[in-house]
Structure 1
Amino acid sequence: MIKFHLHLVSDSTGETLNVVSRACLVQFEDVTAEEHLWPMIRKPRQIEEVLNAVQEKPGFVIYTLVNGELSAPLENGCRKLNIPCVDLLDPVVTAMGEYLGAKVHARPGRQHIMDAEYFARIEAIDFALRHDDGQSYHDLNDADVVLLGVSRTSKTPTCIYLANRGVRAANVPIVPGSKIPDEINHLTHPLIVGLTKDPRRLVQIRKNRLELLGQSGLSDYVDLKTVAHEVGDARKYYEDHDWPVIDVTRKSIEETASTILKLQQRHQENLRDLHYS
Structure 2
Amino acid sequence: MSAVTDAAVIPESYFHLHLVSDSTGETLLSVGRAASAQYSVKAIEHIYPLVRTHKQLDKVISDLEEFPGIVLYTLTEPELRNRLKTYCMENGVPVLSVLAPVVRLLQAYLGGDPTPRVGGQHQLDGDYFRRIDAMNYTVMHDDGQHTDGLDAADVVLLGISRSSKTPTSIYLANRGIKTANIPLVPNIPIPGGLDELKRPLVVGLVASPERVVEIRRNRLLGLNATQPNDAYIDHDSVAEEVAFSRRLCARHGWPVIDVTRRSIEETAAAIIALLQEHRRKQSEAP
The answer for the alignment partner of 1:49 in structure 2 is none
Matches within 5 A, 1:137-216: 137-216=147-226
Alpha-carbon deviation of 1:159?
A: 0.3
Could you tell me the percent identity over the aligned residues? 48
Query: Which 5+ residue runs of structure 1 have no aligned equivalent?
Result: 1-15, 21-87
Alpha-carbon deviation of 1:102?
A: 6.5
The answer for the alignment partner of 1:66 in structure 2 is none
Q: Say whether residues 1:259 and 2:270 are aligned partners.
A: yes
Contact 1:148 / 1:172 at 8 angstroms: preserved in 2?
A: yes
Using the alignment, how far apart are the partners of 1:121 and 1:273 within structure 2?
26
Structure-2-length-normalised TM-score: 0.62
Using the alignment, how far apart are the partners of 1:188 and 1:255 within structure 2?
25
Q: Say whether residues 1:239 and 2:239 are aligned partners.
A: no
Q: Say whether residues 1:107 and 2:117 are aligned partners.
A: yes
Using the alignment, how far apart are the partners of 2:191 and 2:132 within structure 1?
27
Q: Give the superposed CA RMSD.
A: 2.2
Structure-1-length-normalised TM-score: 0.64
Using the alignment, how far apart are the partners of 2:236 and 2:216 within structure 1?
14
Alpha-carbon deviation of 1:100?
A: 4.2
Alpha-carbon deviation of 1:147?
A: 0.3
SS of equivalent to 2:203: strand
1:207-253 alpha-carbon deviations (Å, 9 max, x no partner) = 11112222211111111111111110110111111111110111111
Query: Which 5+ residue runs of structure 2 have no aligned equivalent?
Result: 1-25, 31-97
Using the alignment, how far apart are the partners of 1:273 and 1:97 within structure 2?
36
The answer for the alignment partner of 2:36 in structure 1 is none
Amino acid at match of 2:201: L
Alpha-carbon deviation of 1:101?
A: 5.3
Using the alignment, how far apart are the partners of 2:104 and 2:280 within structure 1?
30
SS of equivalent to 2:147: coil
Relative CO higher for 1 or 2, CA cutoff 8 Å, sep ≥ 6? Answer: 1
Number of aligned residue pairs: 192
Q: Say whether residues 1:224 and 2:238 are aligned partners.
A: no
Moved over 6 A (4+): none
Q: Which has the larger radius of gyration?
A: 2
Amino acid at match of 1:232: A
